[in-house]
Structure formats: structure tokens, C-alpha cells
Amino acid sequence: MTVGVVTFPGSNCDLDTISALTDLGVESRLLWYRDTDIRGISHIILPGGFSYGDYLRSGALAAHAPIMDSIVEKVSQHDLPVLGICNGFQILCERGMLPGVLRANPHGEFRSSMQAVRVVDPSPVFPGLSPGQTFRFPIAHHEGSYSVMPGELQKLFENHQVFLQYSDEDGNIHAMANPNGSVANIAGVSQGSVVGLMPHPERAMHAYLGSEDGRAFLAAFLGKEGESNAS
């Protein structure tokens, strides 16, 4: 298993992600956005940051970087597991690999805080997760308000594409637990082998950082549930 973490111009969570994977004992390497050869890569993570300075729209320009063509091809041919975190989620939505868009938070604030999320439908690439499971992850974004066109929300739920919802610490879903005005508190969605979420599991790897829930979460993505508590 080798996890590829893509560095776009302006990515700033790529090294945090590598560090988190190393903590889990997983082999990983950085991929440059101009690379097109992703042979030997078993999983892709698109990290957080501000690719291309958020020019035009967050993630819009990175969505068409050369490496994205290779990733799209390998997803359609081999169900390559792809996880987009924060800006990575925005990139996947802009590329059309995930449904919906991420808009500016309607309250106008850059929201940086610890946030609970609850699993709705575990995607096929997160086999270790079960519905109702909760995690505490940091969030840090200004354009994180998940939206879909009218009429499409029900379809998302029916198709089991709603992956995570923002919740309170007890796992209850309500407006007060929604940090950014996302429709139906949606924090993450999936489509086939592609998953995206706004919160940062790679920043929740140690109790001294406020949460180590990222361990179990990333381990589930990598099919290593048994090792999730090793620290």
C-alpha cells in the first residue's frame, strides 16, 4: 500500500497528511500536481490548503491540474480510493467527481474550531465505519457551506451519498451544530470510490491536539481498523 498525497501550488496540509500517515505506519509519498504517472499508488489524498490562492473559485483551477486527469482515469477504471480533505473536497466537487458545491459560509466568518461529525452512510472505501459513529475533528474554512441544486438533496440521501453530517458532541443533528450553513448539516459526501469532507482528520492525531479521532478515521480509509488505536 502506498498513499499518494498531492501537492498543488498553495496546498498547505500535504505534509501534515504525510505525517499522519507515517504515524499510522503507512507508506506514503508526495505527488506533484504536474505529475501524470500514478502507477503503484493504492490510495490518493487531496490535502487541505489554498490551491492556486483560491483564485476564480476554491479548487476550480486545481481541479484541472494534469494529475487530476490521471486520477479521474484510475477512478473510473480501477475504483481508486480518493479522499479529499477541505480544499481537496472543494477540488473534487469542482471537477465533478463529487456532487454539489462548497460556497462561502453565509455568516461570513472563517470558522476555525473543533467540530463533531456523525457518519451517515459509510462509503465503500470506508468499510470500517458504521452509521451513527461520531468523530471530533478540527475545521478551518471560509468556503465550506455545502450546497446542492434544489431537488437534489433527497436524491443524495436516497443514493447513500451523504457520508458525514455536522453534529453536537452527542451526535445530534440540528441547526446549532451546523458551523457553516451547509444544507442538512452535510460535512462530507461520497460517489463511488471518491469521498470528500471539510473537517481535518489529519489534524486530530494526538490527544494533545484536542482529538485523536483522526487515527481511527484514516485507518478506516486505509482498511487498517485493527491498528487505529496504536499510538
For the annotated catalytic residues, the residue numbers are 86, 200, 202
Q: Is 197 in the site for another protein (CB under 8 A)?
A: no
64 or 174: whose CB is closer to another protein? 64
68 or 129: whose CB is closer to another protein? 68
91 or 220: whose CB is closer to another protein? 91
What burial letters (b/e) apply to 172-199, b meaning 16+ CB within 10 Å? Answer: eeeeebbbbbbebbbbbbbbbbbbbbbb
Q: What share of the chain is helix, strand, coil (3-state, %, to 5)?
A: 30, 25, 45
20 or 65: whose CB is closer to another protein? 65
Residue of the chain from 8, 50, 52, 221 that contacts another protein (CB under 8 A): 52
- DSSP per residue, 27-89: -EEEEETT----TT--EEEE--B-GGGG-SSTTTTGGGSHHHHHHHHHHHHH---EEEETHHH
Min dist CB 93 to another protein, Å, is 17
Q: Is 65 in the site for another protein (CB under 8 A)?
A: yes
Residue of the chain from 64, 107, 155, 174 that contacts another protein (CB under 8 A): 64
| The three cell numbers locating residue 23 | 504515524
Total number of residues that touch another protein (CB under 8 A): 8
Applying CB under 8 A, the residues found at the interface with another protein are 52-53, 55-56, 61, 64-66
